[in-house]
Amino acid sequence: MIVGYARVSTIAQDVEMQRQALLELGAEPERIYTDEGFSGKSLNRAGLREAMAAVREGDTLVVPRLDRFARNAEETLRQVRELTERGVIFQMGRTAYDPRDPWSKLFLTFLAGMAEAEGAWISLRTQEGMANPEVRKKLKGRQSKLTPEQDEAIAIHLEEGRMTPGQIATRFNTSRSSIYRAASRHRARTGGGNG
C-alpha cells in the first residue's frame, strides 16, 4: 500500500498540487494525509501522525519533496529510521530511500540539512522584512474567509462534539486549524460563551 503525505505552512497555500503529485506516484485518494498551516520544524502534526500510523510493514510512505515531510534534519532522520525499522519504505517524489546504500543515506542527510537551512533562511528574510517599518505598515493581516455567523456555528459544533474537527472543516470547506481559529474568534467576540 502507498500512503501519501503533504504539508503547506500557511492556509493561503494550496495543498492540491502536492495531492495531485501523490496521486501520480500511486497513493490512493483516501490514503493521502495532509497538514495545512503547519511549519515543518515540528513533527507534532495530526496529518503526519495519521500517515505514520497508517503504514505497515511492506508499505510505502511517499512525500512530494522532503521539505514537505519536515524542516528539522535531526527529526527527519529519526522518523525515517523509525519507518525503516518498521519495514516501511520512505519515498521522496520518485526516489525511494534505501537504508543499505551509503549514497542513499548521504543523499537523505544532505536533503534534510538543506530543508532545515532553507526554513531558517526563510525565517531570517521574514524577520528582516518585518524590521522595516514600511513593510509592517503595509501588512494588515490576512482576513478570515469565514463570517462571524460561520464562526459561531463552528464553535457550537465543536462544543457539541457530535462531529469530528475534520468533519466540521469539510462542512465549512476549510482546514482543521481554521475551525479552531474560528471558535477562538467567536469566543473573543462573545466573551467566552457560544452566545
Query: Catalytic residue at 39?
Result: no
Catalytic residue among 9, 42, 144, 177: 9
Is the Cβ–Cβ distance between 59 and 88 less than 8 Å?
A: yes
What is the β-pairing status of strands 2-8 and 95-96? unpaired
Give the cell for residue 179: 475551525
Burial (CB < 10 A; 0-12, 13-18, 19+), residue 149, is exposed
Beta bridge pairs of residue 61: 3, 90
Which residue's entry shows cell 531570517?
Answer: 124
d(CA 99, CA 128): 39
What is the β-pairing status of strands 32-36 and 89-92? unpaired
Angle, vertex CA 71, rays to CA 144 and CA 25, nearest 5: 85
Catalytic positions: 9
